[in-house]
């Protein structure tokens, strides 16, 4: 199924809103800014200004490792919900999910790899086929 550029942009916006909403519902705080990159089989949601007051206190005390570990455990638990939200908004199956946080600047990246669509398989370039 081929999507138009406008539909693709709408899906990206809806995906970013869904991930921001899930963060807000489960952390008690959402990002102040969300940006989405959606190209081919890759959708990345960048969330800025993400940390809760408790996390900010730990970060200020030099406990970034504790915040990173807690967030990673949370992301592992949220994998299914995040993937389902992306699948619902894009109409495509998520085949991989990765998550990373950063402290300065204060941000996270939720990375989704989508199952290739038929049109993606048909559009493989020679460099991809040659392994370049």
Distance separating alpha carbons of residues 55 and 71, to the nearest angstrom = 10
Burial class (CB in 10 A: 0-12, 13-18, 19+), 41: middle
pLDDT band at 87 (very low <50, low <70, confident <90, very high): very high
pLDDT band at 119 (very low <50, low <70, confident <90, very high): low
What is the model's pTM? 0.85
Summary mean pLDDT of the chain: 89
């Amino acid at each position: 199924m081929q999507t138009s550029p406008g539909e693709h942009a709408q899906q990206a916006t809806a995906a970013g809103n869904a991930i921001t909403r899930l963060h807000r519902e489960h952390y008690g705080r959402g990002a102040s800014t969300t940006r989405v990159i959606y190209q081919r089989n890759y959708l990345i949601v960048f969330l800025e200004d993400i940390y809760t007051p408790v996390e900010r206190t730990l970060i200020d005390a030099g406990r970034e490792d504790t915040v990173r570990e807690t967030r990673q455990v949370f992301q592992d638990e949220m994998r299914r919900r995040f993937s389902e939200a992306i699948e619902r908004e894009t109409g495509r199956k998520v085949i991989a999910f990765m998550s990373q946080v950063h402290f300065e600047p204060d941000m996270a990246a939720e990375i989704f790899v989508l199952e290739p669509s038929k049109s993606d398989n048909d559009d493989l370039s020679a460099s991809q086929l040659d392994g370049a």
